[in-house]
Amino acid sequence: MRRPLAWFALAVAAATGCGPPPRVQFTPPTVAPRSADYPAIQDRWTRHAHVTREFDTAVDVYATLQTSEFRAAWLARVATLRQLAGAARSELEQEQARDAEQFVDCVLQVHTGRWNWNDLTSPRSLWTITLVDDRGREAGPALVHQVPLKPDEVAALYPGGTPFTRTWRVRFRRTLPDQSRLLDPATRWVLLRIAGPLGNTGDQLRWDARPADGLRP
């Protein structure tokens, strides 16, 4: 009886396109992305984690890491959606460059089994968020806040949300106390960990670098 079930599981995985998440490059893009490239780039930098508690959803998260490639694609997409040009686009581009220099940002679309569990900011929050990399460095957020976007804007930039989803921005300081930098070109992998009494995301929210970056696979 086990063999048919195994083959069925493989067939379902193949049909739904299941597989490991794509490897990424932490270095800046060599060609500026276009607005049309945004969906593929947003998908490449998004990871999904699902944590259950007693057969119920504790937390379901889509996490988009805001790297230099993603920021460039986001800029192109927003400029197209808002028809920005000239000084307005330049101002937005400079803002993104300043943020990228100082911070590593991650946008989280979060759904929980109970509405009061979907809280990442209050002193009573159940969740601790940590960014970890391959060198064992860990960083806690410098800032967490709910993204002030209208539902239509969220749907255009971070698809997949529902009326029960909250969208959060988690911001980490790029320069660590020892003056080393997060997400430098030598990074092999980075992991976002969300943990609390209801469970933890383990290694589900992990971005691995391509071996072509000169790093070990």
Q: Is residue 133 one of the residues assigned to a domain?
A: yes
Domain span at 65:
27-200+207-212
pTM exceeds 0.85, yes or no: yes
Q: Which amino acid is at 49?
A: A
95-122: per-residue pLDDT in tens? 999 999 999 999 999 999 999 999 999 9
Asked if residue 174 belongs to a domain, the reply is yes
β-pair type (138-139, 143-146): unpaired
Q: Are 42 and 63 in contact (CB under 8 A)?
A: no
Task: Write out pLDDT tens, residues 125-146.
Answer: 999 999 999 999 999 999 999 9
Residue 7 lies in a domain: no
Q: For residue 9, is it within any domain? A: no
Q: What are phi and psi of 75, to 5 degrees?
A: -60, -45
Q: Which H helix or E strand runs over 81? A: helix 68-82
3-state secondary structure of 161: coil
Count of domains forming the chain: 1
The answer to whether residue 187 sits within a structural domain is yes
Tens of pLDDT along 19-39?
Answer: 788 999 999 899 999 999 999
Q: At what angle do helices 86-102 and 68-82 cross, to 10 degrees?
A: 160
Let me know: does 167 contact 147? Beta carbons within 8 Å: yes
Q: Is residue 15 part of a domain?
A: no
Residue 18 lies in a domain: no
